[in-house]
């Protein structure tokens, strides 16, 4: 079900892509090469890459960075996005999920035992109930659990990219 939610999220993004402004988002990418491997600190060796559908590939063509979807042995789906510059095309998972019919229940920030923080929400559509966590990691070491806070930090030059947006979908 999580893979399906990730699919719907990416589909909603792709469907709305023609409506997004293109100013500033065609700038050359940062120094991170497009063929660079996903970093080992973000991608566990046990994760399996999930092929993107046609809608997701169309969305990825206009995204100022790269994206990939991974499945885990413990039934999670991970959406990774490498973002080269500030963009409104990176927005909270709640927006995508609402667009495809999920009811969203915000939850408190989740803090792992190692101190890593994630924004968290519960998404429900019929019998499909997901726990969704997300965070953004900056090349300058900064971390965000709020995408709007990241955007303004990046847009105003107060944060250095590239940035890694990590979204995790799991059954709840």
23: its two tokens: 């100013």
Model confidence band, residue 4 (pLDDT cutoffs 50, 70, 90): low
Average pLDDT over residues 100-119: 95
* Residue 124 predicted with pLDDT over 90: yes
Q: What percent of the chain has pLDDT over 90?
A: 45
Q: Are 172 and 130 in contact (CB under 8 A)?
A: yes
Average pLDDT over residues 98-112: 95
* Residue 32 predicted with pLDDT over 60: no
What pLDDT score was predicted for residue 105? Answer: 97
What pLDDT score was predicted for residue 5? Answer: 53
* Residues 6+ away with beta carbon under 8 Å from 4: 128
Number of domains in the chain: 1
Size of the chain in residues: 172
> Which domain, by its residues, includes 80?
2-171
* Residue 40 predicted with pLDDT over 90: no
Q: Are 172 and 131 in contact (CB under 8 A)?
A: yes
Among residues 96, 71, 91, 95, which one has the least CA distance to residue 81?
Answer: 91
Q: What's the first-to-final CA gap in the chain, in angstroms?
A: 11
What pLDDT score was predicted for residue 20? Answer: 36
Its pTM stands at 0.76
What pLDDT score was predicted for residue 13? Answer: 45
């Amino acid at each position: 079900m999580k893979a399906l939610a990730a699919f719907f999220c990416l589909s909603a993004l792709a469907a709305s892509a023609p409506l997004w402004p293109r100013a500033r988002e065609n700038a050359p990418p940062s120094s991170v090469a497009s063929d660079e491997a996903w970093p080992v600190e973000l991608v566990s060796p046990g994760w399996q890459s999930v092929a993107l559908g046609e809608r997701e590939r169309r969305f990825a063509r206009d995204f100022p960075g790269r994206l990939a979807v991974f499945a885990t042995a413990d039934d999670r789906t991970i959406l990774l996005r490498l973002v080269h510059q500030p963009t409104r095309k990176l927005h909270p998972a709640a927006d995508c999920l609402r667009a495809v019919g999920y009811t969203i229940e915000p939850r408190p920030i989740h803090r792992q035992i190692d101190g890593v923080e994630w924004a968290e929400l519960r998404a429900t559509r019929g019998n499909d109930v997901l726990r969704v966590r997300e965070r953004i990691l900056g090349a300058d070491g900064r971390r965000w659990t709020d995408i709007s806070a990241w955007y303004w930090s990046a847009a105003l030059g107060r944060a250095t990219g590239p940035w890694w947006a990590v979204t995790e979908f799991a059954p709840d």
